[in-house]
């Protein structure tokens, strides 16, 4: 499949990065640190995309330790494991932020860098959900699914916002800045407290607050991790509304219909209508094999986001639909038949009950687990082919390499003088 058509390739040369960061932490703390300290640690021959990929390597290492110590997301790990997650995530954030400075420094800025950066971020979002769930001892269940939903919606909405406004907008509180720093703090604190089981305790009780009569038991018994999810829900609503507002204003300013842009959210909405239905119908996946299923769902989102970025770079129409959703549709259809037979057909007796529902081809045991791994394999294949095809196409057209610098910048004396004047 061709993901970038030949007539759209010239648009790549019109690319110009546009971004706005309203974060005070980023402006007064992180950016000075990146510009004055970190950037000088990387040699001029190092390609920006290689920096991004190296940073992602820290997250992969974190995930490997997760699979070794807490594959079920509900076991306490040695304190050094949580500490390594904090360090690894901070290094990832640092490398991810510095790659843009390296691109400008080496004069290698281009559309491939933005695509590569967003593609790695999309995969990291899913891995970070698993790491956070393990740190909080959420286990395999609905809490982890809710965390995944919030994280993926935030990332999807931000990419949808960038497509329509042509500008990457980070608010006063954003996932790439405050969100990651919060996670680093959570991991470090978990290491200090000795394990994720601490977050299962009641926040108010562990803080020494008495159980007064005017405090409902539901509120008083809320655990630390549940309060964190409430906080995450508030931030999710704020960021989603902000992205929607940005898109509406941008389209109105161009004299375009706003409701057309909202159709771009349907792909995400359809996927997340099917996901909870499937998990409800297949508790064996929800409570025993959630990790591979989360990978599959994460790749659905990564594939959608990647196609949106490609459309943004080539100024093509917004991509709707996602081929990776079709296996999920089949999974829901296959699981829905026995449920209808049991809960609806049984109420009408043997005579009429047989007209409700149908037998499952996969069942609810080993074949259902195999189906999830098949979906994961398909998602890896489809998304992998997308990544390879797009990178190959862009590199071939722009005459560049992905992880190395093919044409090092050679400044002439005039340019050197101009740069010296700018620095002064």
Among 107, 118, 343, 383, the active-site one is 118
For helices 180-193 and 79-105, angle between their N-to-C axes, nearest 10 degrees: 160
Q: Helix (H, G, I), strand (E, B), or coil: what is residue 212?
A: coil
Q: What residues contact residue 241 under an 8 Å CB cut-off, 6+ apart?
A: none
Active site residue 288: no
d(CA 23, CA 30): 10
The tokens describing 354, both together, are 């047989």
How many other β-carbons are positioned within 10 Å of the β-carbon of residue 325? 17
Which one-letter DSSP state was computed for residue 178? I
Q: Which of 113, 237, 116, 127 is nearest to 180 (CA)?
A: 127
Query: What does 296-349 look like in DSSP terms, one character per residue?
Result: HHHHHHHHHHHHHHHHHHHTPPPP---GGGHHHHHHHHHHHHHHHHHHTGGGGH
258 neighbors 112 (Cβ within 8 angstroms): no
Size (the chain), residues = 424
Q: Is the dihedral of CA 120, 123, 127, 132 positive or negative?
A: positive
What is the DSSP pairing of strand 168-170 with strand 19-21? parallel
Q: Residue 149: phi, psi to the nearest 5?
A: -60, -45
Sequence-ordered alpha helix ranges (H) in 27-107: 31-36, 48-69, 79-105
Just list the catalytic residues: 118
């Amino acid at each position: 499949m061709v993901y970038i058509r030949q007539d759209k390739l010239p648009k790549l040369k019109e690319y110009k990065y546009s971004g706005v960061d309203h974060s005070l932490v980023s402006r007064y703390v992180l950016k000075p640190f990146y510009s004055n300290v970190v950037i000088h640690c990387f040699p001029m021959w190092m390609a920006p995309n290689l920096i991004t990929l190296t940073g992602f390597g820290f997250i992969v290492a974190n995930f490997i330790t997760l699979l070794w110590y807490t594959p079920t997301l509900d076991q306490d790990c040695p304190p050094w494991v949580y500490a390594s997650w904090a360090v690894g995530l901070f290094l990832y954030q640092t490398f991810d932020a510095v790659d843009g400075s390296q691109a400008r420094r080496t004069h290698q800025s281009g559309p491939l860098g933005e695509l590569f950066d967003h593609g790695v971020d999309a995969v990291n979002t899913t891995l970070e959900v698993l790491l956070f769930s393990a740190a909080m001892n959420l286990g395999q269940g609905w809490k982890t699914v809710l965390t995944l939903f919030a994280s993926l919606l935030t990332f999807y909405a931000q990419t949808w916002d960038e497509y329509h406004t042509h500008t990457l907008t980070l608010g006063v509180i954003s996932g790439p800045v405050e969100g990651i720093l919060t996670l680093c703090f959570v991991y470090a604190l978990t290491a200090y407290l000795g394990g994720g089981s601490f977050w299962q305790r009641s926040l108010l009780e562990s803080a020494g607050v008495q159980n007064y009569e005017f405090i409902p038991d539901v509120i008083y018994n809320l655990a630390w991790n549940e309060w964190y999810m409430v906080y995450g829900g508030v931030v999710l609503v704020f960021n989603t509304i902000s992205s929607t507002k940005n898109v509406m204003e941008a389209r109105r300013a161009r004299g375009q219909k706003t409701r057309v842009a909202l159709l771009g959210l349907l792909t995400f909405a359809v996927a997340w209508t099917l996901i909870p239905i499937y998990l409800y119908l297949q508790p064996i996946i929800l409570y025993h094999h959630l990790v591979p299923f989360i990978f599959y769902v994460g790749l659905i989102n990564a594939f959608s986001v990647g196609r949106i970025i490609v459309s943004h770079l080539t100024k093509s129409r917004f991509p709707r639909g996602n081929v990776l959703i079709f296996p999920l549709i089949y999974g829901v259809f296959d699981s829905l038949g026995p449920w209808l037979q049991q809960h609806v057909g049984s109420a009408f007796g043997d005579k009429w009950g047989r007209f409700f529902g149908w037998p499952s081809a996969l069942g609810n045991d080993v074949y259902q687990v195999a189906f999830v791994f098949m979906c994961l394999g398909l998602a890896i294949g489809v998304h992998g082919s997308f990544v390879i095809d797009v990178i190959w196409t862009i590199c071939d057209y722009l005459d560049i390499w992905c992880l190395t610098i093919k044409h090092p910048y050679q400044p002439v004396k005039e340019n050197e003088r101009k740069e010296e004047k700018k620095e002064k």
